[in-house]
Structure formats: C-alpha cells, structure tokens
Chain A
C-alpha cells in the first residue's frame, strides 16, 4: 500500500507524467484554435513570419470588416432559420411519435419503432441523389424547407428513442388519474408530459440544433442560391474567393465558430448529455 501514500507527495513521477501528458494533449487541442483566433488579428505578412505568437500590431480591421458586412450576418441568419425550423419540427414530430410509442399499446407498435430506428444504421449521404430528386420533384429545391425536412427525417430515429425512454418513466398512475378525471390523452401530452419533459426536450433540441447548424452536405446539395447559404457553405465560398489571404479567412472562421462555442459554454450540460446519452444507454 505504499503506492497510495506516495501519490500524495508532490514529486511522484506518476503525477508528473500525468500532468505533462495532459499538458501535451491540451496544447495539441488549443494551439490550432488559438492560432486561428490570433491569426485573424495579424496582417498577412506578419502571419507568414509569426503564425504562433501574439500579433505585434493588432489588426482589428479584419474582424471589424466582417462584423460590419451584410454577408456575415446573412449567413448566420440563414443557418439560424434552417436550424430553428429543423429543431422545432423535430421536437414536435418526434415527441408526438414518442408519446404514442410510450403510452399506447397497439398491434405493430414495436415493429414500427424498429422501422424508425433503421434511420440510425446508415448516413444520409447514401441516398442523397434520390433525395435530391425527391426534393426537386416536391418543388422544395433551393428553399429552407428543402434542407430542414430531410434533416428532421434523419434526426427522428435518435430523437424518438431518447424521448420515448423519458416519457415511459413518467408514472403510469399519473396518466391513469388524469384519464379518470376526464383528461384526454392529447391534453395529458400537452399539459403533463411536455412540461415534465423539459430536460430531455432541451437535450434533444440541442443535439438537433448542433447537427443542423454544422451540416454541410445536405445544404450543399439542396441549395443553389448564395443568398440562402448557411454558414458552412458560405465560409467555403469565402475561402474560395480569398484563397490565400489567410488572415481574413481565419478571422471569418473565428467569427463563424463563435456562436457554437458560446452555445457550448452556455448549454454544455445538455450538449454533453445529449451527444453521449444515446450512446451510453443506446
């Protein structure tokens, strides 16, 4: 048991190893991010000779130009519209389906549930060409809905599973009592289930939002007009235009990932729970 005692002393080699290992990984993670943030404050010439350090002259202009451009805000606005549409529709449609699967026994219920979970097995990319043709035939090409509806469809499997598990934990006696008191299933859903399920709704909403906010392939295939592009598409166009003016591109990247990082810091509990929850209990 001498091991346990030595861990307390400051010169334990194990502790030293652990600290230096963590430090190396932290540097590996941080350096690209910090270099991106700082690179946006440098001039192109300085970036070339000094990509790591603090800028000698802080070029606020790079960031200011982007922040005052209509382009940046339009990209964020498009992304926000698509993500909000996706999250709202996913929460409504998935919670309704999850409620049915959780509280109503009917013939074929488990079969239908496994049918929905088929969506977990393959990526959206496999059928993206037929999906494109379907969206085109529905007249939704080059619209926000043309991106949002397929995103909702693909997020349903995970959302229904997570919501259903939570709904099932709501005591059955509560439903029974409500029904005896003349409350309908639909009212129970609206006034009991949903208010009680705020944590899981927040979690599902956050995962769906992050996925939709970061999505690239679906909007790339469904949208043709620059004015409708969400930011991942817009930033690729921007990079194409300013191909080697890295100081501008770095400033643009920083400003576009800023909302994600702010959201992460505000809602880290839900994000971590959501992104690992389906996994751990799945």
Chain B
C-alpha cells in the first residue's frame, strides 16, 4: 500500500483500488494539481480561438489588408465608414430586423399554440412533437437545398401548384421582391419546432395546482389560459424571444443554398453580407470591421436584454 501522490500522472492508468490505509484529508496539494492540469486546456483553446480573434478583428479593422504579409496600410476608421456607406449593409440589417419581426409575430404564436395543444397527452402527441422538432436538427444547408427545390420555377412544388391553376410559375428566389419572403418562410419551417419544445418543456414543469385552482374558482378554459398559464410562461417567452433574436443575428448557412444573399443583396443577413464582402474576397480589414459591428450589436443586445427582461432569472 504505497501512498500515492496526487500529482502522479495516474490519470490514464487503470487503477481502481483506492488504498484505504493512506489516509489524507482534502489537501491544497491535490486541488492545486487539478487546477493546473484541468483548467488550462479549456482556457487556452477558448482564448486562442474565441477571444483573441475578436480582439484581432478590432485591430485588423483599422487596416486595408488582404491577409498576406503583415498589415501595414493603416487607414483608421475608414473601414467602418465604408461599411456604413454600403447600401447592402443596411439591407442586411433590415433583413435581420424582418427575421426578428417574423419570429415574434408568426413563429412564436405558432410555437406557443402548438405547445399548448401538444403538451396534453393524447394518441400521437409525442409523434407530432418529434415531427415538428425534426426540421430543427436537419442541417441548414440541407434545409436550404430542399427549399430551393420547393421554390424552383421549373421543377419545384410551388411551380407545380401554380401550373395547376394555369398560371406562369414564378421564380421566387430570383426576384428581389420575393427572395427574402421565401427565406422567411423557410426560417419559420425550420425553427418553430425548437421554440415549441421550449414551451412544452416549460408547460410540463408548471405547477398544476395553480391551474386546477383557477378552474375550481370557475375560470373558463380561455380565462385560465390568458390569466394563469400564459403569465406563468413569461420567462420562457422572454427566453424564446432571446433565442429568436440571437439566431437571426447568426443566420448564414440557410441563406447560402437558397439565394447566397441575392439577388442584388436583397436577401443578405449580417453574416452572409460579411461572408460575401469580407471573407470570400479576403478583404480582411473591411470584413473585420463588419465582424466588429456585428459583435457590438450581439453583445449590446445580450446585456441589455438580460438586464431589462431577464433580471430575475
């Protein structure tokens, strides 16, 4: 029974018998070893690949630089000015606003209604939940491709419906008037199930006695819903809104197979705008400026929202 030293590299050794004789209290030694062995990998990876690049984006955004050699051509805040003077930037920002509006006005009520219906037990409820959740786990790329088929003016489902009415099928994704609308429909299709699941999880965690009490006091179904159930769901609704907004600011993969942000930048989101104008052309300074603006929007939003709406959670 040799006393073992905590810092020996015994991690990988298959040694299951703990020596009962070597009595040691919780010592600073063992904890220190854990501290210097267990924490650095996470901190290092996170700093290297998440935090540093944000700082570097701020630095690079002051240069006119194509990514090769060292950044030398200092231009101050010009990149930010160029971004703000680009019409496509404001279009992308507007589109992100539209996505948020649709999430709040259509997706959220839809998700809530479905959750209220499917939180009850009946035959097929679980199957329907799974079906509605399925689009959420499909890759955005695959979803985008499926819908570029659905919208296809020659072979697609929409075209076929149009033709049965004898009308000339539209090319929805190729027109600046309809491209963004088409993208918005796909967004609802893909994400309502996620929000529905959030609500179902919340509904199942509700205190049933409150609802029963309201019913016993003579409240009708709709009164119970409006004055008891929905207020109890407020935290989840706030959370769902938070995810809808954060998700809109990240949206990229879905747009690429559908429209690539086009035609004429009419369906760009912030990230696809960043990709099309910064990344794909290796305009590091310009692209970094867009990234910094996006970062500022995300962080400002997250902190403000948490402070105003989620203070108690």
On whether A154 and B50 interact (CB within 8 A), knowing A260-B139, A279-B239, the answer reads: yes
Are A99 and B34 in touch, CB under 8 angstroms? yes
Q: In A168-187, which residues have CB < 8 Å from any B CB?
A: 176, 178-187
A23 to chain B, nearest CB (A): 10
* Tally of chain A residues near chain B (CB < 8 A): 99
A29 to B291, CA, bound (A): 34
A65 to chain B, nearest CB (A): 18
Are B221 and A3 in touch, CB under 8 angstroms? yes
A180 to B278, CA, bound (A): 58
The stretch that binds A, out of B85-93, B176-184, B250-258, is B250-258
Residues of chain A within 8 A (CB-CB) of B149 are 35-36, 39, 246, 249-250
Are A32 and B299 in touch, CB under 8 angstroms? no
Asked whether any CB of chain A lies closer than 8 Å to the CB of B141, the reply is: yes
Residues of chain A within 8 A (CB-CB) of B236 are 280
The stretch that binds B, out of A55-63, A66-74, A197-205, A270-278, is A270-278
Residues of chain B within 8 A (CB-CB) of A189 are 34, 38
On whether A153 and B46 interact (CB within 8 A), knowing A127-B54, A253-B146, the answer reads: yes
Residues of chain A within 8 A (CB-CB) of B198 are 276, 279-280
Asked whether any CB of chain A lies closer than 8 Å to the CB of B166, the reply is: no
On whether A121 and B221 interact (CB within 8 A), knowing A127-B56, A249-B149, the answer reads: no
Q: In A32-47, which residues have CB < 8 Å from any B CB?
A: 32-33, 35-36, 39, 44, 47
Are B250 and A125 in touch, CB under 8 angstroms? yes
Are A125 and B291 in touch, CB under 8 angstroms? yes
On whether A104 and B34 interact (CB within 8 A), knowing A3-B220, A160-B42, the answer reads: yes
A178 to B295, CA, bound (A): 45
The tally of CB-CB contacts under 8 A between chains A and B is 302
On whether A191 and B16 interact (CB within 8 A), knowing A131-B49, A216-B256, A236-B256, the answer reads: yes
Chain B contact residues (Cβ within 8 angstroms of A): what range? 35 or more
Within 8 Å by CB of B130, from A47, A127, A268, lies: A268
Interface residues as binary, A108-131 with B (CB distance below 8 Å gives 1, 0 otherwise): 000010011011011111111111
Interface residues of B (CB under 8 A from A): 3-4, 6, 10-11, 15-16, 18-26, 30-31, 33-35, 37-39, 41-43, 45-46, 48-54, 56-57, 60, 67, 110, 113-114, 117-118, 128, 130-142, 145-147, 149-150, 152, 154-157, 159-160, 189, 193-194, 197-198, 201-202, 205, 220-221, 236, 239, 243, 249-250, 252-253, 256-257, 271, 274-275, 278-279, 284, 287-288, 291-292, 294-295, 298-299, 302
